Structure 1
Amino acid sequence: MKHDVAAVIVEPIQGEGGDNHGSPEFFQGLRDITAKYGVVFIVDEVQTGGGGTGTFWAHDSWNLSSSPDIVVFAKKLMVSGYFYAEHLQMKEPYRIYNTWLGDPTKVILLEKALQVIKRDNLLEQTQRVGKALQSKLRQIESVNNSKIRNVRGLGTFCAFDMPDTATRNKFLEIAGNNGLFIGGCGKVTVRFRPALIFGDEHLEIALDIITKSLSEL
C-alpha cells in the first residue's frame, strides 16, 4: 500500500536510544533522496545542537548537498525553537505562537552565551578535548574490555557500552559516589554530556574517576 511521505525527521546521534551514530554518507544520501522527491528533511538537534559535537550544529559536519528544511533546537541553547527554509514560510506565522511569544529574556541570555562561545573558542576546545576524551577512553577500553566496549563520539558527545543494564547502572552509581556525574541511555550505554567549558584539567579528573570506578565495579 503506497502512502505519500510528507517529511523525514532524524537525530544526528540517536541520544535516548543509546548514542547511535549515523555516518555523514548516510545523511548525505538521505538528504539527496528527500530533495529529489520533495520530502521535508527535518533535523532534530535538541540534544546535539549548541556545540557539544565540536560544531555548533552536528549536521554541519555532514557536508550536505543542500541544507535541512527544518532544524529543531532546545536544551543547551536555553530556548526551544526551530528555523526553516524559505519555501516553508507560513502566511500567518504569528498564529502558531502562544500568548507571550516565548520568553524574550532567554534570547538575551542566549546572545551572551554565543558571544562567550566565540570569544573563548569553545567549539575548537570541544573538538580538541573530545578527540582526547575518545582516545583515552579507548586506552581504558583496551585494558578493561570485559567491562566497556564500543567507545564512540563526536566532540565531547561521547559514549561507551557495558555488558548489561545492571552493570551499567552499578557503574553510574559508583562513578557518582566518586564525584563524576554521567548518565545512561539505551539499555547498556554510558554517555558523556559535559559543558563546552570542559577542558584538559577536567578531562584528567574525569578519566581518573572512570578508571577508579571500573576497578571498584
Structure 2
Amino acid sequence: MIETELETLNFSDAPKMVSATFPGPKSAAALEQSAQTESMARGGGRMPMVMDRALGATFKDPDGNTFIDLSAGVGVSSVGRCHPRVVAAIRAQSESLMHSMEVNSTKRTELAAKISEIAPDGLRGNCITYFAQSGSDALEAAVKFARRVTGRHQIIAFHGAYHGIWHASGSLTTGTNYRKGFGPFMAGVIHAPYPYAYRFPFDTTHKSAEQIAGEYVDYLLNTPYTAADDVAAVIVEPVQGEGGYVPPSPEFLQLLRKACDKSGALLIVDEVQAGAGRTGKMWAVEHSSVKPDMMTFGKGVGGDVPMAGLVMRKDLAAKIPDGCAPNTFAANSVSAAVALTNIAILQDPALDLLNRARTMGEEVQEYIRGFDSPWVGEVRGRGLMIGIELVENRATREPLNGARLGQLMNYVTSHGVLMIPCGRYTNVMRVMPSLTIPRKLLFKALDVFGEGLRSL
C-alpha cells in the first residue's frame, strides 16, 4: 500500500529516453547558454543534463527524457522533489508571510521548537538554534561560536572532510578542488586521520581504524607538545560524505567524546549531509549514542528550499552576545514552513521512512554486491547513504581511472539515471536517493548501474 502511494509521487515513465541524442537539442542549447552566463565554479555545472521538471525521485529534461535521481540533489530532497504536502505548505505560507527579516515570526519560532524536540540526546530539549541558509553558513557559525564560548582558537577536523567552501568552513574541508590556489586558509586548523578503513594509512592488525583514529585525537588533545594546545572544538561528520561515504563504527565518536571531555574542547557533529533520516535515524550521530555539544544541519531539513542551522546547548548559547551574527534571510517563513512539513513527513508513522531507509539500505548493499563486478572494491554505508568504491584491481585497490569512470557515468546518465561520484579519488559512486523513492524505481536504477559496470 505504501509503495503504491509513493509511486504516485513520481513520474511513472522513469527511466525513459526519447531524444535521438543525449543530451537532446533543447538540453544542449540550455547547457551552452549556461556555460556562457553562469559561473562553473558551482559543483555540477559541466554535467550533461538539464532539469526542467521534477517529481519525487524523478525529473524530466527540456527534451522530455525522464530520469531516476539517485542523488536526491546531493542529499537535499529527503522527501522527494515537489512533494504535494510541501507544495501545499509553500502555497499556504506564501499567502500570509514570506520574508520577515530577523524579527520573531510564528513559523520561525515553531521550527526552532521542533528542532529542539527532535535533536539528538544531549541537545534535545536543551538547545538553541541559530538559523542559516546553507551548510557552509552553519559551519562558519559553529567555528565562530565555538571560539567565543571556549576562549580558544584551534579546530580539529579530519582528512577527507567536507564542511563547506567559505573561509572557516573551507579551511576545514580537505578536497583539493576546494583548496588549491585559494590559500592561505584560516590559522589554527589541525587535520587528523578519519577511520576510512578501506584506505587507512596505518596498520590495523591489532587495532581497528576507529580505535587508532580516535586515540590519535586523544593524543593531540591531551598530550603535551603536540601543538594542539588551544583547541576549541573537534568538528566531525558522523558519516563522512564527500570524502567517500565512510560510516565509522560507533566506537570512533565515543572515543572523540571522551577525548573532548578530558580536554574541555567541544564536540561538533556536521549532520548537513548525513542527517534528516538518511542513515535510518533522524541524525547519524544517534547510531553511536554520543551526545554532541553542537550540531549543524541543512540539506534534507529544508529540501526544496534553502534551510540550515547550528544547534547549541543552552549553556553555550548563553555565552554568545546578542546581535553578533546577523543573517537577514535565515529561517524565511516559507523555508520554515517547508522544513516543518519535511520533518512531519519524515516522522509520519504510516510511512515509517527512517526504518524503511535502514532496511532498504541493507538490501541495496547486498544487491550491489550481488553484481560481483571486478570493478567494485567495496560497498559500504548506513541507511540510504551508500558508497560504491570502484577500483581497477580489487587486490591492489587502485582507484578506477578517470576514463573508465567517465565511460560508466556516460552509460548511466544516457540510460536515464543520475548518480554523482565522490571520494578522494572521485571513484565512489553514491546511492543516496530520496527516502520516499519507490522500491521499483530504486532497483530499476540499480540495474542500469549494474549494466553500466558490465559495459566496462
Structure 1 length normalisation: TM-score? 0.91
Relative contact order (C-alpha < 8 Å, sep 6+): which is higher?
Answer: 2
Listed one character per residue, the Cα deviations across residues 150-194 of structure 1 (whole Å, up to 9, x for unaligned) are: 100100100111122422232122111111111101211111110
Contact 1:45 1:72 in 2 (8 A): yes
Instruction: Establish whether residue 197 from structure 1 lines up as the match of residue 421 from structure 2.
Output: no
Listed one character per residue, the Cα deviations across residues 103-162 of structure 1 (whole Å, up to 9, x for unaligned) are: 12111101111111222211111111111111111111xx21x21121001001001111
Residues 9 and 174 of structure 1, relative CA distance in 2, 3 Å threshold: same
Contact 2:301 2:343 in 1 (8 A): no
Taking the TM superposition and a 5 Å limit, the aligned residue runs for 1:1-217 are 1=225, 2=227, 3-64=229-290, 67-78=291-302, 79-89=307-317, 90-119=319-348, 120-140=351-371, 143-144=372-373, 146-163=374-391, 164-166=400-402, 167-186=404-423, 187=425, 188-217=427-456
Matches of 1:123 and 1:82, distance apart in 2: 22
Matches of 2:342 and 2:287, distance apart in 1: 22
Matches of 1:183 and 1:84, distance apart in 2: 32
- Structure number with greater Rg is 2
CA RMSD of aligned residues (A): 1.6
Residues 59 and 126 of structure 1, relative CA distance in 2, 3 Å threshold: same
Matches of 2:251 and 2:268, distance apart in 1: 17
Gaps of 5+ in 2: 1-224, 392-399
Residues 16 and 50 of structure 1, relative CA distance in 2, 3 Å threshold: same
Matches of 1:24 and 1:197, distance apart in 2: 27
Contact 1:129 1:203 in 2 (8 A): no
Structure 2 length normalisation: TM-score? 0.45
Matches of 1:91 and 1:158, distance apart in 2: 37
Structure 1 position 25, deviation (Å): 0.5
Matches of 2:406 and 2:271, distance apart in 1: 27
- Bigger proportion of residues as helix: 1
Gaps of 5+ in 1: none
Number of equivalences: 212
Contact 1:126 1:198 in 2 (8 A): no
Residues 20 and 95 of structure 1, relative CA distance in 2, 3 Å threshold: same
Listed one character per residue, the Cα deviations across residues 6-45 of structure 1 (whole Å, up to 9, x for unaligned) are: 1100011221122223221011111111012211100011
Matches of 1:169 and 1:76, distance apart in 2: 28
Question: In the alignment, residue 202 of structure 1 is paired with which amino acid?
Answer: L
Contact 1:182 1:191 in 2 (8 A): yes
Matches of 1:54 and 1:213, distance apart in 2: 28
SS at match of 1:55: coil
Residues 100 and 23 of structure 1, relative CA distance in 2, 3 Å threshold: same
